[in-house]
Chain A
Amino acid sequence: MDPADLSAIGLTLELATIVTALLLVIGTPIAWWLARTRSRLQAMVGAVVALPLVLPPTVLGFYMLLAMGPHGPIGHLTQSLGLGLLPFTFPGLVITSVIYSMPFVVQPIQNAFIAMGDRPLEAAATLRAGPWDTFFSVVVPLARPGFITAAILGFAHTVGEFGVVLMIGGNIPGKTRVISVQIYDHVEAMEYAQAHWLAGGMVLFAFLVLLALYSLQPGRHGT
């Protein structure tokens, strides 16, 4: 592997780690709201969060490009804050990835919250635990498998994205050139051997992630 490959691997891991961390922070309240609200907006918000599951990444990337561009709402905001424009930058990639991987994080957490039901929350309230206290002492431990699944899926999905990266990030070495783009470059340049190293590594990575995930599921063999 050449330094460009290593740089792409490093950048990919950095991107996936930041995105996963952000998603756990942002996705948890969204999952909580979706799991517990009786609002009529629930279905709508749930559908919006799930959109990246069915949309081609290029569609999402295209609209994010417009929104973050000089004439888009996000672009206006970042420019007025003196942050410049986000397309073709690492932060732009992070923001788009957060949206793109959102359902993979929100849904497992949401399902864990729903499966837990009201009863542990009511028990905690009758034992003097306030809402935040209950959340950290009861909800998080009980929903732990959901959080782990969410983190693994969010990380893996971010590592594997390609279309969105290309639309938003382009192909800037050390800034936005992640593994999937690097593989594409190798193949374009007929460097099949190098492409194999990275692509094979991705297959192995994906397999290990799914193996870890399925081992976590409470199946016939227990946990």
Chain B
Amino acid sequence: MVPEAIKPDEADGIRLFLRRDYSGFSMKVDLSLPGRGVTALFGHSGSGKTTVLRCVAGLERAPEGFLAINGQVWQDEANRMFLPTYRRPLGYVFQEANLFPHLSVKKNLDYGQRRVPAESRKVSFDHAIGLLGIESLLDRQPSSLSGGERQRVAIARALLTSPSLLLMDEPLAALDLKRKKEILPYLERLHDELDIPILYVSHSPDEVAQLADHLVLMANGSVVADGPLQDTLARLDLPTVFADDAGVVLDTVIGAHDDTDSLTRLDFAGGSIFVARRPEAAGRRLRCRVHARDVSLTLEHAEHSSILNILSATVVGIAPMESPAHVLVRLQANGTPLLARITRRSSNSLHLGPGSPVWAQIKAVALLD
């Protein structure tokens, strides 16, 4: 049964209800997602995240389902309504680029754009190829492209249909690390320059931390958690999902550069941190990631420490980790959540508990860029 709370007139955002039973695997997903920005569907292989994406695209049909994208209903099984894929204004980037081998790059790009009525075209050809940096590839055949180039062409091809929703199924998974790094900046540009909501399936914590605004954690065909990225990453009840990669993401703005010491100050709601001098100008937004394992706690502000970044924070909660020697501490630094992984012994000897004021020493900051 479709829950009563689902109404097609919720004009904003993505409303998604899917239920499907396979032999030995059942999927049940009930989500309201923001209608803008990047939503990452994160989970291990077999968690059902790709199936969700395929159902959203209409490539598979859940026998019970309701799907509305910013007010447009794509599927409503209660009324036996199911829009076939080719009638859904979406873009889909497959894990392997899936370019048409019989068409040149240019013709691959034209394929989707030609099939969209001229008045609905919002993304211009030049904009798309510029955004993905594929100007020089237009006359090539797909078979002569590298994996990274192919994937960039596939993304541009999807964008040229001016989709109201972009679906990306582990677009980087088939690429080696070097190619991944080659594509990630283009994905960030998509995020920054286009106002198209993106559903991004991934099993890589790095990609999620770098790209997502909203996070949906999936396991065994169901949603374990969903919410804004920062809050969801800092939840204490989910550390096993990320295991050793537990940590938070900080959205910062470059405050100032200190050329004497070759440092750059990054400001965010919870304070400031210093990192090695960045090339970007002051005012640029920069996302960074702080792993829980790189945060240690003291009760007094250490004046004589080599650690540069020390933030005042309050303990919100403490949770056990998979390793019995460690605990995960959730902190609040002036509204910004942080996670620290410390030993159980330290936690006990510092008498930490909810409300304890502490100093969080950040040993390393990973800049996501």
Contact = CB atoms under 8 A, between A and B. Distances in A.
A77 to B, nearest CB: 37
A130 B101 contact: no
- Which of B85, B91, B96, B158 has most A Cβ within 10 Å? B85
A129 interface: yes
Interface in A93-152: 119-120, 122-131, 133-134, 137-138, 141-142
Contacts of B58: 125
A126 B90 contact: yes
Interface string B311-345: 00000000000000000000000000000000000
B116 interface: yes
- Mostly, the B contact residues are loop
A128 B115 CA distance: 6
Contacts of B112: 126-128
B174 to A, nearest CB: 13
B196 to A, nearest CB: 14
B65 to A, nearest CB: 18
B164 to A, nearest CB: 13
Given A123-B94, A126-B85, A130-B86, A138 B100 contact: yes
Chain A interface mostly: helix
A127 B101 contact: no
A69 B111 CA distance: 52
Contact of A126 (B91, B100, B101, B102): B91
Given A123-B94, A127-B112, A142 B101 contact: yes
Contact of B85 (A119, A125, A138): A125
Interface residues of B, number: 24
Interface in B107-134: 111-112, 115-116
B115 A133 contact: yes
Interface in B125-182: 157-158, 161
Contact of A127 (B59, B84, B87, B161): B161
A123 B98 contact: yes
B86 A128 contact: yes
A129 B115 contact: yes
Nearest to A137: B111
Interface residues of A, number: 18
A126 B115 contact: no
Contacts of B94: 119, 122-123
Contacts of B90: 126
B59 A125 contact: yes
Contacts of A120: 98, 100
Interface string B180-216: 0000000000000000000000000000000000000
Nearest to A141: B102
Contacts of B105: none
Contacts of A137: 111
A25 B310 CA distance: 76
B55 to A, nearest CB: 13
Contacts of B157: 127
Nearest to A142: B102
A127 B115 contact: yes
Contacts of A126: 57, 59, 85-86, 90-92, 112, 158
A119 B96 CA distance: 10
6 contacts: A123-B92, A125-B84, A126-B59, A128-B112, A129-B86, A130-B84
Interface of A: 119-120, 122-131, 133-134, 137-138, 141-142
The 8 closest A-B pairs by CB, nearest first: A127-B112, A126-B92, A125-B85, A128-B115, A123-B98, A141-B102, A125-B86, A130-B86
Given A123-B94, A126-B57, A127-B158, 7 more contacts: A122-B92, A122-B94, A122-B98, A124-B100, A125-B59, A126-B112, A130-B86
